[in-house]
Structure 1
Amino acid sequence: MASFDWKTIREQAKSKETYQVKEKMWTNRIVKIIIITILTIMIAGGLGGYFYVRHTLSSVDSSNDETVEVTVPIGSSTKDIASILKDKNIIHNDYIFDIYLRLQNVGDLQAGHFEFNQSMDAGDIVATLQKGGEPIFEDIDTTITVIEGTNLEEISELIEDKTPFTAEEFMELVNDEAYIASLSQQFPTLLGDLTEVEGLRYPLEGYLFPATYDYIGGMTLEDLVTQMVSTMNLEFQAIREDLDQTWMTFHQVLTLASIVEREGITDEDRAMIAGVFLNRIEVGMPLQSDITILYALGEHKELVTLTDLEVESPYNLYMYTGLAPGPYNSPSMSSIMATIYPTYTDYYYFVADLDTQEIYYSTNIDDHNALVEQYVNPYFEEDEEAVDEEATGEDVEEVTEEIIGEDVE
């Protein structure tokens, strides 16, 4: 019969129980440490995420209130809007801003042209979007009519009014050297020598033929301007043989015709005025047209004063003799043909009756001054100061004598 060492068995059992208790205690401790670590990470992550999101929705630069123009296209989603604002550096993070917009349940946001700045936080931006910006021009088929005597700056305003393109975009294009070079290759006989002309304010001034053009929705600005130059090219090709009747190049014809355009109304008067200007060029007299002063000044004025005559510009034909570097506007074919086929007379002066627009011509300064006194000065008699400063009559002739150094009769 076997015998058992009960003492040993009891000690082993007790040792095993003690081990299990210790193991359980350590397990509990490890679990608690893991739980505490996880909770700590979660709390830290939550706080970090909270402060990160809070920072992300704050302003990019609270001290920068410089206006940034932003266009939100029609049909843009919240994700699209967030991406546009991030590209413009108005928000920190487009992903979080997109979520913010969704959580705000802001509904349909307005498309349009907006003004933001970096000092705006997410709430300010959303309020601006909900308020709505300037409406986006609807790109539809339309017609654009360039009126005779319109200059490029005026055409740019017409383009902005009738198409999705801005006046600034138009002026940038018509001054773009690469674009002008491409036009010169496309229309070499019309524009081939244009890049060699010095002193031009706008190279394409005068070369956008006055006519009505079709704008088709989606057409590029390059296509539209090229269409206008192409029309001028067709008109130019039709009269190339007529240029044999004048000593001027077509560019010079356009330049003089652009002045004739604004000085005369009827075909008869335009031919007479062209003849007067050519007479002046022949004897070295400045053309002395107010049209040239207004263009040199870059503004419209009812009165041209003696001070205005001093504006430094090659387009100022009170100050300089001959022709300007280029046209002042887009002249009509009537003015172009009047310049090629002028009415030759002995006249060196002309003045318009400001009431009837009838034009009177004279061969000498005395007769001219008498006509000015009769048909121009009474128009300004209620404003004596303006009359005193108005560049007419003897005052103009004094300026002429100073410029060319001789008495012009």
Structure 2
Amino acid sequence: MDKLPMNQKISNRKKREKEKSIVSKIVTRFILFGLLLILIVVIIGSMFVSNALKPVDPNQTDTVEVQIPTGASVSQISQILKDGDLVHNASVFKYYVKMKNVPGFKAGYYQLSPSMSVDEIITSFIDGGTDQSSAAKKLLVREGEQIVDIANEVSKVTDYTAEEFLAKVNDQDFYQLLVKEFPQLLGDSVKYPNVRYRLEGYLFPATYDIDRDKTLQMIITEMVQKTNQVMSKYYEKIAEGNLDVHQILTLASLVEKEGTDLDDRKKIASVFYNRLNADMMLQTDVAVSYALEEHKEALTYEDLEVDSPYNLYKYKGLGPGPFNNPGEQAIAATINPDNTDYYYFLADINTKKVYFAKTYEEHLELKKQYID
């Protein structure tokens, strides 16, 4: 084999060293570029995450209601917040929560604002929200209120009008559905077709939560359901007596308005029973006011002559149906009245004290002493 000259060997060695140097420089530059690129990505990513954890709008303090459903995952919660414009990025929120090993969030309703940081939102979720939406309103049905009164209250706390409410309570198809759902409560009412409002007496006095998702049918059904719940403890006792559920509620609606405490109401109920058993008219102003379809402090003799089946100064018995929606105390007094021989009663409008009499003559004397 021929041998290269010495100067040629030196030249080739220098050439290889130069090539290695170039390759080394290229590799070094690629490594430096890669490291620089990674550094840039880390810096940009860090800035992105940092910004994503900041408030969406520091100047917007108006709250937004957020509902966290029971059993919602972090991914679902992240999306709820993003949809509500409360966080910049759903994925960042999700991974930040997991990175911090945050304990489970509590279900409920939360009042959050775009001015809150992610950490502040997380703290709110850990503390817990409320069980009731702030959008929900309260509907108060008072003892002795008539359906027209309830309709007006409904119109104040919902988007429904009083007319729409009254139409719904008299909706025959809806009424039949309620009869099927609550047969013990409403089964007897079908025997009394000439009532003014089908559900008068069956909308229990209580406070009801009203939110934007509740329909009129749902609102009314809840009231009837409450009445059924209260009445369930009395059905067996009612079945043993002479009056059915509809008649009991009718009489209770009179007792509700004529007395204020349980003792008086039990005596008033006994007066009504005694008069019914003696085939006497009940002659109660409560019934006349209902017949007139207006609230009056004092009735005239002309008022007492109004021709209506609800006028118990003109017709015997209990009338077509309830005159209002009685509370449980009046219902209990009607089902468990005192055993008396009273046939008359009157109340001092100033002291609210009720006086009872066995005879008409005694009644007139009490009237002269405490009323006239």
Q: TM-score range by the shorter chain?
A: 0.5 to 0.7
Match of 1:369 in 2: 364
TM-fit CA distance, 1:171: 0.3
Match of 1:322 in 2: 317
Q: Once the two structures are superposed, what CA deviation does each residue of 1:174-209 show, in whole Å capped at 9, x if it has no partner?
A: 011111111112112221242331321111000001
Identify unmatched segments of 5+ residues in structure 2.
1-133
In 2, the alpha carbon distance for the partners of 1:354 and 1:188 equals 40
TM-fit CA distance, 1:273: 0.2
Matches within 5 A, 1:282-293: 282-293=277-288
Task: Work out whether residues 136 and 209 of structure 2, in 8 Å CA contact, stay in contact via their aligned partners in 1.
Answer: yes
TM-fit CA distance, 1:140: 2.9
Aligned pair count reads 239
Match of 1:234 in 2: 229
In 1, the alpha carbon distance for the partners of 2:190 and 2:239 equals 23
Matches within 5 A, 1:9-158: 140-158=135-153
User: What is the TM-score when the length of structure 1 is the normalising length?
Assistant: 0.57
In 2, the alpha carbon distance for the partners of 1:270 and 1:186 equals 31
In 1, the alpha carbon distance for the partners of 2:354 and 2:201 equals 25
The one-letter code of the counterpart of 1:368 is: H
Task: Work out whether residues 188 and 244 of structure 2, in 8 Å CA contact, stay in contact via their aligned partners in 1.
Answer: no
Percent identity among equivalent residues?
A: 45
Task: Work out whether residues 245 and 340 of structure 1, in 8 Å CA contact, stay in contact via their aligned partners in 2.
Answer: no
Match of 1:213 in 2: 208
Matched, 1:197 2:195: no
Task: Work out whether residues 245 and 341 of structure 1, in 8 Å CA contact, stay in contact via their aligned partners in 2.
Answer: no
Q: Give the counterpart of 1:258 among 244, 253, 260.
A: 253
The one-letter code of the counterpart of 2:306 is: V
For the residue of structure 1 that corresponds to 2:232, the secondary structure is helix
Match of 1:277 in 2: 272
Task: Work out whether residues 144 and 256 of structure 2, in 8 Å CA contact, stay in contact via their aligned partners in 1.
Answer: yes
Task: Indicate the RMSD between aligned Cα atoms, in angstroms.
Answer: 1.3
The one-letter code of the counterpart of 1:337 is: A
The one-letter code of the counterpart of 1:253 is: I
TM-fit CA distance, 1:245: 4.7
Q: Give the counterpart of 1:159 among 137, 154, 157.
A: 154
Q: Once the two structures are superposed, what CA deviation does each residue of 1:359-388 show, in whole Å capped at 9, x if it has no partner?
A: 1111111111111112112xxxxxxxxxxx
The one-letter code of the counterpart of 1:238 is: K
Q: Once the two structures are superposed, what CA deviation does each residue of 1:137-162 show, in whole Å capped at 9, x if it has no partner?
A: xx931111111101100000000111
In 2, the alpha carbon distance for the partners of 1:198 and 1:170 equals 20
Task: Work out whether residues 350 and 360 of structure 1, in 8 Å CA contact, stay in contact via their aligned partners in 2.
Answer: yes
User: What is the TM-score when the length of structure 2 is the normalising length?
Assistant: 0.63
Match of 1:309 in 2: 304
TM-fit CA distance, 1:244: 3.9
In 1, the alpha carbon distance for the partners of 2:247 and 2:285 equals 19
The one-letter code of the counterpart of 2:161 is: T
For the residue of structure 2 that corresponds to 1:230, the secondary structure is helix
Runs (4+) off by over 6 Å: none
Identify unmatched segments of 5+ residues in structure 1.
1-138, 378-409
Q: Once the two structures are superposed, what CA deviation does each residue of 1:105-137 show, in whole Å capped at 9, x if it has no partner?
A: xxxxxxxxxxxxxxxxxxxxxxxxxxxxxxxxx
In 1, the alpha carbon distance for the partners of 2:225 and 2:239 equals 22
